[in-house]
Structure 1
Amino acid sequence: MEKIKAWILKYYEGLAYLFFGGLATLLNLVLFAAFQALLGTDFATGIGNILDNVICILFAYWTNRVFVFRSKNTGWAAVVEFGQFISCRLITLVMDQCIIWLGVNLLGPHIGFAVAHVELWAMGVKFFSQAIVILSNYVFSKVLIFKKK
C-alpha cells in the first residue's frame, strides 16, 4: 500500500491532469454532441464549438489551479496567472476551431469514401482535435502558466 501511495504522490500532477483534463474533454465532447443533436452540425462546428470551449476553459482553469498544479498565487499574481491561462487556451481554441473547420467543412465532403453520417464524421474530427488540444494545453500549463517558482 505504501508503494502505491508513493507512486501516486510521485506522479500526482500528471495523474490529476489526466483525470481533470479527461473531465474537461468529456464535458467538451458532451456539449459538442448536445449542440449537434439539438441545433445541427453547422451550429456545433461553429458557434457551438466556441461556446463549449469557453465553458470548458473556465472549468479547466478552476480544476488546474486548485487540484492539478495547486497554485498559491493571490492578488495580482493570480490575475496574471488567469490571463496567461486564458491567452493560451484561446490559442488552443483557435487551433480546435481550425481543425474542426478543416476536418468537417473542407475534408468532409471531399474524402473519397462514404461517410454514413455527417454527425459521426464531425464527432470523429472533434475527437482528433481534442487529442491535439489536450497535449498543447498541458505544455502551456506546465511550462508557461503554473510553473513552480
Structure 2
Amino acid sequence: MQTYHELKQWLKDRKLWEPFTYLFFGGLTTVVNIAIYLLCRNVFGLYYQVANVISWAISVLFAYFTNKIWVFEARSANRREAWTAFAKFIFFRVLSLGLDMLCMFVMISLLSSGDLSAKTVTQIVVVLANYLFSKFWVFTGKKMDKK
C-alpha cells in the first residue's frame, strides 16, 4: 500500500494523477463499452448501430461514477448540484456519442473497415474528447477532501 501512496503523491506533485486516473478509468470504460458491444453483436445479433448505442449507455453510467469519485474527486454540495453535474455529463456524452456514431459510420459504411477495428479507433477519439469535456465543463466544482 505504501508504494501506491508514494506513486500517487509523485504523480500528484507533477500534476499527472488526474490524467493517469482518467486514462486508467477511460481504459476500463472502453473495455466495458467494447465488451457490451460485442455481447450485443455476437450473442444477441443486434445491428451495429443499435449495439453501439446500448454499449454507449452502459459505459456512460460506469464513466460518470468513476470520473466523479476517482478521477476528478468531485463532490456536490447538494442534490441540485449533483443532478446538474450529471445532466452536463450526459449532455457532453451525447455529443461524444454523435462523434462515435459518425466515426463508426465513416469507418464501416464508407471505408469498409471491420467493426471491431472501427470501434477501437473510435474509442481513442471519444476518450480524448470526453476528458476535455469532463475537465473543463462538467467536474469544475469542489474536490473531495482525500488524505
Shorter-chain TM-score tier: 0.7 to 0.9
- Corresponding position of 2:145: none
Q: Shift of the alpha carbon at 1:135?
A: 0.4
1:27-106 matches, within 5 Å, as: 27-40=32-45, 43=47, 45-73=48-76, 74-106=78-110
- Corresponding position of 1:113: none
Consecutive unaligned residues in structure 2, runs of 5 or more: 143-147
CA distance in 2 between counterparts of 1:5 and 1:103 reads 38
8 Å Cα contact 2:37-2:54 kept in structure 1: no
The change in CA–CA distance for 1:129 and 1:5 in structure 2 (over 3 A counts) is closer
CA distance in 2 between counterparts of 1:69 and 1:3 reads 19
Q: Deviations over 1:65-87 (max 9, x none)?
A: 11111111132111111110000
Q: Shift of the alpha carbon at 1:7?
A: 1.3
- Corresponding position of 1:127: 120
CA distance in 1 between counterparts of 2:94 and 2:7 reads 37
The CA RMSD over aligned residues, in Å, is 1.9
CA distance in 2 between counterparts of 1:16 and 1:5 reads 10
Consecutive unaligned residues in structure 1, runs of 5 or more: 109-117
How many residue pairs are counted as aligned between the two chains? 136
CA distance in 1 between counterparts of 2:8 and 2:63 reads 26
TM-score (norm 1): 0.83
SS in 2 for 1:28: helix
Return the structure number with greater helix share. Answer: 1
CA distance in 2 between counterparts of 1:5 and 1:70 reads 14
CA distance in 2 between counterparts of 1:5 and 1:124 reads 33
CA distance in 2 between counterparts of 1:79 and 1:4 reads 33
CA distance in 2 between counterparts of 1:51 and 1:36 reads 11
Letter in 1 for 2:124: A
**1:14 maps to 2:7:** no
CA distance in 2 between counterparts of 1:48 and 1:123 reads 12
- Corresponding position of 1:107: 111
Calculate percent identity across the aligned residue pairs.
32
